[in-house]
Amino acid sequence: MQPVGLSPQEYARYARHLSLPEVGVDGQTRLKSSSVLLVGAGGLGSPLGMYLAAAGVGRLGLVDFDQVDASNLQRQVIHGSKDVGRSKTVSAAETLADINPHVQVDCYETAFTSSNALQIADPYQLIIDGTDNFPTRYLVNDVCVIQGKPNCYGSIFRFEGQASVFSFDGGPCYRCLYPQPPPPGAVPSCAEGGVLGVLPGVIGMIQAIEAIKVLLGIGDNLSGRLLLFDALDMRFREMRVKRDPACPVCGDAPSITQLIDYQQFCGTPAAARGAGKSEPQSPWDLQPQDLKQRIDAAATFTLLDVRQPHEFEICNLQGTLIPLHELPQRHGELPRDVEIIVHCKMGGRSAKAVQWLRDQGYENVFNLRGGINAWSKEIDQEFPTY
């Protein structure tokens, strides 16, 4: 007689799990009855979704409002070349259905916001943070604390990653570790700073392992510990994280008992499609069309590129290269009697440069809104981006 809750096909599929005393039939049946919400179907969400589906987690929710871009394919392995331009949730759901047709996949093609987060998260017993921006990261944390659900956290940048389990069994939450977000622009996005393609695979699989352990109630999970991974040195480190009794969310006398305006809390512009990826606006913005008009009219101006030399080698608008960190030492190379238009990749670093130059008395300085990415999209579609 086959075990209750598992079909003959599932019995064969999960044979290696059933052979583990820590899992067995009861554990696999528990996984089948489990539900997990993945916030983000990108770099971290890819290995998370694929391995949780393969493991037999019965219900997976996918939240993402983005479309697959060619630049995603270097690390977001749940999508393929055929999926460029398609919805990430739809693309991911198709891949997961192929990996394991016994898993129910719910798609939420929307931003995860203060107005819908509690409703979306309600049917799931565990939430996994696969986000790439601070407003959503704090939102996921507070949803987990308010609803009493574990938060399997992960983050990546360049060659480094972090993982932990927050809001679990009386342990700390994300705000115990990071009470306040960094100032806007202090931490470059992955689009600006880059990320090693295989890094989200490592961190995402660690998150998946932690989620399975929590669901099965086995092992020693990362609650109260922050795992730090450096891919360049191939080194794992660990630091202890204690629950803060004064934490405004999970503390002894919490002051935050409902979701707040996380965009305002993190000091970023209001959410829109692509929120968390757009760069801070400058009051001295110029649009790409404004730059094109100046070029077409052969106007006199200085085009200042504040990216790094290796970025300049990838593509450039033939401007003057002074990396942002060198600007305090080299700004004397710039004219004060000629208009200066500053650009970077996406507009964030150049906005900082414009503000700094104006603080030094440069009056005729402007920021190319959206950087060379916007130039490529709006003016010259043949111009390479990265």
pLDDT tens digits along 276-312: 344 456 689 999 999 999 999 999 999 999 999 999 9
The three-class DSSP label of residue 259 is: coil
Q: What is the pLDDT of residue 186?
A: 64
pLDDT at 211 over 80: yes
pLDDT at 187 over 70: no
The three-class DSSP label of residue 210 is: helix
- Residues above pLDDT 70, as percent of the chain: 93
Write out pLDDT tens, residues 154-176: 999 999 999 999 999 999 999 99
Active site residue 344: yes
- How far apart CA 346 and CA 66 sit, in angstroms, is 18
Which amino acid, 188? P
Write out pLDDT tens, residues 59-104: 999 999 999 999 999 999 999 999 999 999 999 999 999 999 999 9
Residue with tokens 């806007």: 184
Q: What is the pLDDT of residue 286?
A: 95
Nearest to 48 by CA among 160, 206, 199: 206
Question: How much is the average pLDDT of 97-117?
Answer: 96
Distances (CA, A) of 198 to 43, 73, 202, 232: 9, 11, 7, 12
Q: Which two tokens mark 258? A: 């409902």
pTM: 0.78
pLDDT at 378 over 80: yes
DSSP 296: H
- How far apart CA 28 and CA 9 sit, in angstroms, is 13
Active site residue 190: yes
Annotated active-site residue in 152, 190, 250, 266: 190
- How far apart CA 84 and CA 106 sit, in angstroms, is 21
What φ, ψ does residue 82 adopt, rounded to 5°? -65, -15
- How far apart CA 192 and CA 122 sit, in angstroms, is 34
Which amino acid, 20? L
Q: Partners of 286 in the beta sheet? A: 368
pLDDT at 188 over 80: no
Annotated active-site residue in 144, 173, 176, 344: 344
CB count in 10 Å sphere of residue 189: 19
Residue with tokens 């950087």: 371
Q: Do β-strands 285-286 and 235-240 pair in parallel, antiparallel, or remain unpaired?
A: unpaired
**pLDDT tier, 269 (very low <50, low <70, confident <90, very high otherwise):** low
- Residues above pLDDT 90, as percent of the chain: 86
Q: Which two tokens mark 256? A: 């935050």
Asked if residues 197 and 123 have their Cβ atoms less than 8 Å apart, the reply is no
**pLDDT tier, 273 (very low <50, low <70, confident <90, very high otherwise):** very low
Q: What is the pLDDT of residue 177?
A: 94
DSSP 101: T
Strand ranges inside 17-140, DSSP E: 35-39, 59-63, 104-108, 126-129
Average pLDDT, the chain: 92
